[in-house]
Amino acid sequence: AYVIYTSGSTGRPKGVKITHRSLVNYISWAAEQYLGDGASSMALYSSLAFDLTVTSLYAPLVSGGRAIIYEQRGRETAVLRVFEEGRAAVVKLTPSHLRLVAGMDQQRSGIKRLVVGGEALETELARRTWENFGGRVEIVNEYGPTEATVGCMIHRYDAEQDQRVQVPIGRPAANAHIYVVDERGQEVGEGIAGELLVSGEG
């Protein structure tokens, strides 16, 4: 379907080939997760070279919704306009983007869901954002390396339950399997550190 470049954990850029099958699996799942409850529009403001754009463009289109396009104007950060206008029901962004708007009062915003990914989401940032929306926004932490087709796990932030430093990365996406293994590739028990393996359609 496309080749997208990422430096991943190595720091050296490489092209990742995403197949149509993987893309269809992810987009079908993302549309159901993020737009399946009546939310019908997503903000599209980032470069096509960034895989969060895949979600923002295709998920609303396959579900009969709208992608609200925000063009870049000079050195202005387009995500600020997304939050100032509050027209899109769903916004996908990174924690770095979220920090830019963390102090904005969003009590009257039309934004209903924030899908956050690309970096670790600090619980304090999630809590502050949730409070700025008066508790009327759903924050979803989506995790996944580019190689796993945009995202492969999600966790819905819970202001009462999530008390660790970082918001959990959650449970596998549709048709994805996640394993935590030791240096020999054997699964480890709950609470034991290991390496994350991702398999499945993504």
Model pLDDT for residues 103-114, shown as the tens digit of each residue: 888 988 999 999
Per-residue confidence (pLDDT) for residue 9, from 0 to 100: 66
- Range 103-127 average pLDDT: 94
State the amino acid at position 131 in one-letter form. E
Per-residue confidence (pLDDT) for residue 35, from 0 to 100: 95
- Range 156-161 average pLDDT: 97
Q: Give me the sign of the Cα torsion angle 108, 111, 115, 118.
A: negative
pLDDT in tens, 177-201: 999 999 999 999 988 999 999 999 9
Q: Which of the four pLDDT bands, split at 50, 70 and 90, describes residue 8?
A: low
Q: Is 40 helix (H, G, I), strand (E, B) or coil?
A: coil
Q: Is the pLDDT assigned to residue 144 strictly greater than 90?
A: yes
7, 33, 126, 151 from 147: Cα distances, Å: 11, 20, 26, 9
Q: Which of the four pLDDT bands, split at 50, 70 and 90, describes residue 202?
A: confident
Q: Is the pLDDT assigned to residue 61 strictly greater than 90?
A: yes
- Range 29-56 average pLDDT: 91
Per-residue confidence (pLDDT) for residue 96, from 0 to 100: 94
